[in-house]
Chain A
Amino acid sequence: MTYIAKPKFHHPGLKKNELGYTHRDYEGKISTLCAGCGHDSITASIIEACYELSIEPHRVAKISGIGCSSKTPDYFLGNSHGFNSVHGRMPSVLTGANLANRDLIYLGVSGDGDSASIGFGQFAHSIRRGVDMTYIVENNGVYGLTKGQFSATADRGSKSKKGVTNTDNAIDLVAIALQLGATFVARSFSGDKTQLVPLIAAAIRHKGASFIDVISPCIAFNNHAGSTKSFDYVREHNDAVNRLDVLVGRDPIAVDYAPGTVQMVEQHDGSSIALRKIDADYDPHDRLGAQTFLQKHAAKGQIVTGLLYVDPDAEDLHEHLNTVETPLNTLEADALCPGSAVLDKFNARLR
């Protein structure tokens, strides 16, 4: 929603990925968010992840709801179709889009107001159904676009910019996503691109419902003392369990890791994730363990980040529905219409 035209020229020596696209080919319009907004770092991370994965930009459909975070799809992948839909309803629109064409990559961008309040139900049900998507919540604990009201992810006891203390309990979207059967669950911090970029890349390569909760401080309304979603607070309380590298089309052995420190996760599409363990005991294949771990650390005021759970053999909604491989939106009358002879028989049975 920018008024400023972005110049198209770029440095001739700009690096190109395997498909010959430069970084610039993954950019969108100029952001109109506040200077220093965490969301812009997430935008940059999405651009970086798509460039690294050598995705054809137009093969991504980016879908959002309403709010600051939901504006961001305009700021990346300018050659992709975007859909800034209805407040809290990104998940249903994405589900429908995914059903229509299973060959595209679906990137859902939402915020904490969009996903934890008005759209909490749609968030939950899209995860339950195992829609093949990367669902990113840009979580700042506050309604930015309407100037600083608490959202449902604001921690109990945290303070608003005006000094009001939040008395409601917080919704932890990661805990909910785990409980609902998301097959890729991660949390990260917009201020930590080295962790975030490979998480987004791995989520895109994951087949199934991927969910990433990205704590993304609101510079205008939630970056003060007393906030638990400020840059300072998140830096101090960030407890990363792992960091990862996404390996596509490369021999994983070629990457050199110190023995015992790395766990390899083979994804459905042949790519792998190399998980560099920080917490030696953390097992990202243990859904129950992850839930307990999260709750224990949350009780201590720590924000657990990293790849928290992954099921490399996940199924998606299309498998559940047993749909044809051909995208449904390409089928025409010859494939869809049973024709007049069948109708004559149908009529005959109703006499």
Chain B
Amino acid sequence: MSDKKPISSVNDFVVRFANVNGSGSASANEMFARAILRHGVPVSPRNIFPSNIQGLPTWYEVRVTEDGHLGARGGVDMMVAMNPQTWDKDVAGIEPGGYLFYDSTKPMPSTKFRDDITVIGVPLTAITNSTYTDPRQRQLFKNIIYLGALSALLDMDPKLIEQLIGEQYKGKEKLLSSNVHALHLGRDWALQNLKCPTGLRVKKSDKVGDRIFIEGNSAAALGAVYGGATVCAWYPITPSSSVAEAFTAHCKKYRHDPESGKAKYAIVQGEDELASIGIVIGASWNGARAFTATSGPGISLMTEFIGLSYFAEIPAVIMNIQRAGPSTGMPTRTQQCDIIACAYASHGDTKHVLLFPEDPAEAFEFAAAAFDLAERLQTTIFLMLDLDIGMNHRLCRPLKWDDARQYDRGKVMTAEMLDEGRDFGRYLDVDGDGIPYRTYPGTHPTKGSYFTRGTSRDRYARYSEEGTVYVDNMQRLMRKFETAQDLVPRPLQANAERPTKYGVIYFGSTTPAMDEAIGLLEARGHQLDRLRIRAFPFHSSVASFLAEHDFVYVVEQNRDSQLRQLIVNENGIDPVRLVPIVHYDGSPITARFIAKAIGDHQDHLKVTPLRKAVS
């Protein structure tokens, strides 16, 4: 051991598990994260996994954070190195003074270690093999045994883990007791043979409150249930498949008629993304609330239909769980890289509504709201999640629903209204908001029918190639998009303590890292006003924010600074005043990254005081 002192920290450290995928480690690792939550200490876990089912490296990172910083931190304080394939890289990634936990059954040459870290060997395979004979049991219980050993090393209360095991295996007594047994095998071995605890400790706290622990995809799917979606069509694609799977599970629970047992929903796994969006458009045209969930490559395939939705004015909800592109890109890595592709999807002049939730709670709210917006605006609404929010458990405020809330079905002309003699023009703007009335098929025997088409037509849905008629329609669509500005979630602004001419704009999954970065920047003496954008089209407060600041950083997770492009384009802003801060290696953005990038830029912008320069 070198003179580097072992890291000592209570409730503030990062543990990373290096596993082989398909080894059953995921549930043990998740239980580790949940156990810390039960101590009242917030955690932020992240799965780092390959596009593969068995045999490739996978990591699970748990940030233990009493202060509630839910963004990725960067760096590893304790590495649980269970994968020989990635050993060297894993060991190299440990912070100086950190800890390496490994299976010491087989002796390792000293060159495989570092002298500035604490090495903790537990003969996991030996313990497992002396207790279990079945190969699958050996594999699964080995994970629980290391969980037990970690509980001792990190000073965790084993009762809380037992409680979790009890909940997971409720009614399966045999599994329950064997898991508890395995937990104590590991724990007891560590207590008897190792110095417990280490410098990293979990201490009971009360910082979790009533928050829940949920994946964004599941929350978005539940939002679709609460928002009244009845038709879901989808095609499997990482990282969005779990949206449709969660929607299926939620519907099985909440959407069957208690008497007949029949389903108040229809879910179709399409043959591709084109069919999926086609089904959504067909169902929405016919008055049902419908959605699809996909990722970048699916968006590319859907664009023709998205143009139809825009031009023929048919509601649709698309949940885009973004991953690193272009092309197949990095299918299991996160990015915010489809902003431009979605905002202007399809050929011709189009603009689409985008919603940017920050976490699962907002994913739930915005998913439900998306159906109201789609029917009110009669167009496609994109719910822009990403892998980081969608596929990781995130601590967030509990989901809420107001029972008095009714669905906004938008402007729908009924048989009664038609009989009253109301003038029905499918593309007629009667009140200046750019939104026309529609009728559902089958409404009236002689009134209100029309022909839906992607070709140009007049206000009464009659085919037309007249330039003036076409322009009239395109102008109305612009008017409708302006109407959307005031219907979508507004940006949220938080100002620095002192007035400042610097601002920062960010959105979506960047939020927790940004919130944390503000603290780091303030410590460096940088004051920044913040604006979290939650939707496109941009509310007028975005333009005001830009006008009030000399320089505005735009923090996002893509190479080309796509949100910045959109802001420049839509607001006619001098691009020099918008400074791109981009992170796009596929890992979630961190506070450290943001603080460094913005801090360095700020230092560069500032004229160094003379006193300081000569001293």
Contacts and interface: CB of A to CB of B under 8 A. Distances in A.
B574 interface: no
A18 to B, nearest CB: 15
B440 interface: yes
A80 interface: yes
A95 B276 CA distance: 10
Given A84-B454, A101-B442, A340 B288 contact: no
Interface in B486-518: none
A339 B211 CA distance: 19
Contacts of A30: none
Contact of B440 (A99, A121, A321, A329): A329
Interface in B441-464: 441-446, 449-455, 463
Contacts of A96: 231, 233, 278-286, 288, 290
Contacts of B444: 58
A92 B228 contact: no
Given A84-B452, A329-B440, A347-B212, A92 B264 contact: no
Interface stretch (A143-151, A270-278, A330-338): A330-338
Interface in B229-248: 230-231, 233
B412 to A, nearest CB: 10
Contacts of B440: 81, 101, 329
Contacts of B254: 338, 342
A97 B290 CA distance: 10
B264 A97 contact: no
A48 B233 CA distance: 35
B361 to A, nearest CB: 10
Given A81-B441, A328-B230, A100 B278 contact: no
A59 B37 CA distance: 56
Interface string B415-457: 0000000000000000000000001111111100111111100
B213 A350 contact: yes
Given A80-B441, A92-B282, A100-B288, A337 B455 contact: no
Contacts of B260: 324-325
Interface in B271-297: 271-272, 274-288, 290
Contact of A122 (B228, B271, B401): B271
Most chain-B Cβ atoms within 10 A of its Cβ — which of A1, A86, A104, A350? A350
Contacts of A268: none
Contacts of B210: 347, 351
A99 B268 contact: yes
A125 B275 contact: yes
A346 B451 CA distance: 44
Contact of A85 (B268, B281, B288, B442): B281
A351 B231 CA distance: 30
B450 A336 contact: no
B3 interface: no
A333 B275 contact: no
Contacts of A93: 278-279, 281-282, 285
B552 interface: no
Interface stretch (B20-28, B175-183, B384-392, B403-411): B403-411
A172 interface: no
A333 B454 contact: no
A343 B452 contact: no
B560 interface: no
A95 B268 contact: yes
Given A1-B455, A103-B442, A121-B272, A95 B282 contact: yes
A347 B399 contact: yes
B257 A85 contact: no
Interface residues of A, number: 64
B308 interface: yes
Interface stretch (A71-79, A187-195, A253-261): A71-79
A99 B212 contact: no
B270 A92 contact: yes
A262 B441 CA distance: 38
A336 B228 contact: yes
Contacts of B212: 347, 350-351
Contact of A101 (B257, B265, B272, B288): B288
B40 to A, nearest CB: 11
Contacts of B445: 56-58, 79
Nearest to A318: B266
B155 to A, nearest CB: 22
A346 B230 CA distance: 20
Interface in A306-348: 317-318, 321-325, 328-333, 335-340, 342-344, 346-347
A203 B425 CA distance: 33
A84 B453 CA distance: 5
Nearest to A96: B282
Contacts of A100: 230-231, 282-288, 290
Nearest to B229: A336
Given A104-B442, A339-B403, A328 B274 contact: no
B278 A86 contact: yes
Contacts of A338: 225-226, 254-255
B446 A101 contact: no
A65 to B, nearest CB: 10
Contacts of A196: none
A104 B443 CA distance: 11
Interface string A99-115: 11101100000000000
B278 A85 contact: yes
Contact of B274 (A57, A92, A97, A335): A92
B195 interface: no
A329 B449 contact: no
A85 B441 contact: no
Nearest to B233: A96
A350 B399 CA distance: 11
A74 B441 contact: no
Interface in A20-47: none
B308 A85 contact: yes
A122 to B, nearest CB: 6
Most chain-B Cβ atoms within 10 A of its Cβ — which of A2, A124, A347? A347
Nearest to A74: B451
Nearest to B406: A333
B456 to A, nearest CB: 11
Contact of B283 (A57, A63, A97, A343): A97
Given A89-B305, A329-B440, A336 B230 contact: yes
Nearest to B264: A324
B264 A340 contact: no
Given A56-B445, A92-B279, A329-B440, A73 B451 contact: yes
Contacts of A209: none
Contact of B257 (A86, A324, A330, A337): A324
A83 interface: yes
A340 B402 contact: yes
Contacts of A121: 271-272, 275
B400 interface: yes
B326 interface: no
Contacts of B144: none
Interface in B249-269: 254-255, 257, 260-268
Kindly list the 3 A-B residue pairs having the minimum CB-CB distance in the complex, ordered from nearest: A96-B282, A92-B278, A100-B288
30 contacts: A58-B444, A58-B446, A82-B451, A83-B451, A85-B452, A92-B274, A93-B285, A94-B282, A95-B268, A95-B278, A96-B278, A96-B279, A96-B286, A96-B288, A97-B285, A99-B282, A101-B440, A121-B275, A122-B278, A125-B270, A321-B267, A323-B266, A324-B262, A336-B230, A337-B225, A338-B255, A339-B403, A350-B212, A350-B213, A351-B211
Interface of B: 37, 208, 210-214, 222, 225-226, 228, 230-231, 233, 254-255, 257, 260-268, 270-272, 274-288, 290, 304-305, 308, 398-403, 405-407, 439-446, 449-455, 463
Given A61-B286, A96-B231, A323-B264, 14 more contacts: A2-B463, A78-B449, A96-B284, A97-B441, A100-B231, A100-B283, A122-B271, A129-B268, A325-B260, A328-B265, A336-B255, A337-B228, A340-B402, A351-B213
